[in-house]
Amino acid sequence: MDLGHLGRSVTQRVGVAIGAAAWALGLSACGGGSGTATVAVAVAPPEAALSTATRLSVGDLMFNDTSLSVSGQQACASCHAKPTGHADPAGTVLPLGGPTMDVQGFRSSPSLRYLLANTPFRFAPDGKAFGGFTWDGRAESLQAQAAGPLLAANEMANPAIADVAAKVRRASYYADFARLYNLTATATDQEVFDATTLALATYQIEDPDYLLFNSKFDQVLDGKATLTEQEARGLQIFNDPAQGNCASCHVSRVEADGSRPLFTDFSYAALGVPRNPAIQANADPAFFDMGLCGPKRTDLANRLDLCGQFKVPTLRNIALTAPYFHNASVATLEEAVSFYATRDINPARWYPVVNGQPDLFNDLPLALRSQVIQTRPFGLAPGAQPRLSAQDVSDLTAFLQTLSDDIAAPAASPRVTP
């Protein structure tokens, strides 16, 4: 699938995003103060005058601040950990949150990296959905995405915006935060909350860890490394529309202006992944998480044709983000690749057998299961010869492991180095 519909190159959009954030912040320092009969000039407190805090440093503190949650135990970083590509920490099956950290969500936490080229949710002329943030695209921007966990009952669990604002005002970094975001002493709760979500979004824009572009694959593009024979076979399978067909959604080519591939086109797909019995909400047989048509997203509830579709994630850092898919239903990367290879030809491997038959696509209501994607490598009859052999699965897995960022190394240019 072509990324041309996204318009400008990744490099251009990143620059625009950073510039827009800087403009929105209005970084003029607060001044003022009136004299008295005995004091001729009012001066800023020494700690303000000496502060070297920046939007990046304050945003980093806020992103890691557990005091912003009702439990006092959960920060943004609790579900978006740096060592795992800013996705769920290693060993997390499904995140827990809430006032006493015992409320389970029913979706895994997606990676926050490589999102700056994303756009607000929209429909293309052919009706296909693109853009938006989170698994169902309901957030229109990084800032809107940052607001969700602060108020979600299964995450940081603040009852209202006023509760978030009160916690931020008590934070050790509040004076720097207020100065950097032009918050006065009379700032309203809404103004403090809006500045908080803007600070979290700005942190993700300005911190190079979110756009490292320094994986082995990037080094290969720059002529500084070479794929092994197995990795090279995996890349060939990845790009081959008759085999893996992965690049049709997880775009792998370098753009005309040299922009590196993001391994997503920000579209949506109904993969028909198996129901995860570890999700507490799934104990109710009438409960279904259907992505674009609900239950978290409500504006498309009547678009039954969209039910079951979830965001196509970037595959950068995919080797770090187990378990896989929106419902964490598959434990390992090789198993996730195997799902694509064998979903249709060996469905009993993935779905429970009911009355002697696999209960296909059992995480969707029966009436909506026909909407599951059938494009290659799917679309084969049970028992058919696979498009992807066991060796192909192993080779693809090896290639995907070349997409992991090196967090100990500096970021590379968003464009391929000649």
Find the CATH number of the domain harbouring 156: 1.10.760.10
Q: What integer pLDDT is reported at residue 49 of this predicted model?
A: 57
Give mean pLDDT, residues 322-351.
Answer: 98
Mean pLDDT, the chain, as a whole number? 91
Residue 7 has pLDDT above 50, yes or no: no
User: What pLDDT, on a 0 to 100 scale, did the predictor assign at position 360?
Assistant: 98
Q: What pLDDT, on a 0 to 100 scale, did the predictor assign at position 24? A: 38
Query: Same domain for 14 and 86?
Result: yes
- Which of 211, 226, 248 is the endpoint of a domain? 211
User: Which residues have CB under 8 Å from 363's CB, separation 6+?
Assistant: 272, 273, 274, 275, 276, 282, 288, 289, 327, 329
Residue 408, domain member (yes or no): no
Q: State the pLDDT at residue 20.
A: 39
**Does residue 50 register a pLDDT over 80?**
no
Assess whether 191 and 273 both reside in one domain. no
pLDDT at residue 86 above 90? yes
Residue 35 lies in a domain: no
Per-residue pLDDT band at 418 (split at 50, 70, 90): confident
Chosen domain end from 185, 211, 237:
211
Shared domain for 388 and 285, answered yes or no, is: yes
pLDDT, residue 285, reads 98
* pTM as predicted: 0.88
The stretch 397-405 carries a mean pLDDT of 98
pLDDT in the model for residue 46: 53
Say yes or no to pLDDT of 14 above 70.
no
Domain region containing 291: 216-403
Co-location of 182 and 298 in the same domain: no
Could you tell me if residue 413 is inside a domain? no
pLDDT over 90 percentage in the chain: 87
Residue 381's pLDDT is what?
96
Per-residue confidence at 415, pLDDT binned at 50, 70, 90?
very high
Residue 188 clears pLDDT 60, i.e. is over it: yes
Residues 145 and 200 in one domain: yes
Tokens read off for 98: 């809430």
Asked whether the predicted pLDDT for residue 18 surpasses 60, the reply is no
Question: Do 237 and 106 belong together in one domain?
Answer: no
pLDDT at 417: 82
In a shared domain, residues 346 and 286: yes
Within a domain: 312 = yes
Per-residue model confidence (pLDDT) at position 4: 37
Residue 377 in this model has a pLDDT that exceeds 70 = yes
414 located within any domain = no
The answer as to whether 52 is a domain residue is yes
Sign of the CA dihedral with 358 first, then 364, 366, and 367 last: negative
Convert the pLDDT of each residue in 288-310 to its tens digit. 999 999 999 999 999 999 999 99
- Choose one of 211, 232, 254: the last residue of a domain: 211
Do 19 and 152 share a domain, yes or no?
yes
247 and 179 in a single domain? The answer is no
Shared domain check, 223 and 198? no
Task: Encode pLDDT of 117-140 as tens digits.
Answer: 999 999 999 999 999 999 999 999
Q: How many domains does the chain have?
A: 2
Residues 312 and 381 in one domain: yes
| Judgement on whether residues 277 and 203 belong to the same structural domain of the protein | no
Quick check: is 144 in a domain?
yes
Q: Tell whether 418 is covered by a domain.
A: no
For residue 147, is pLDDT > 90?
A: yes
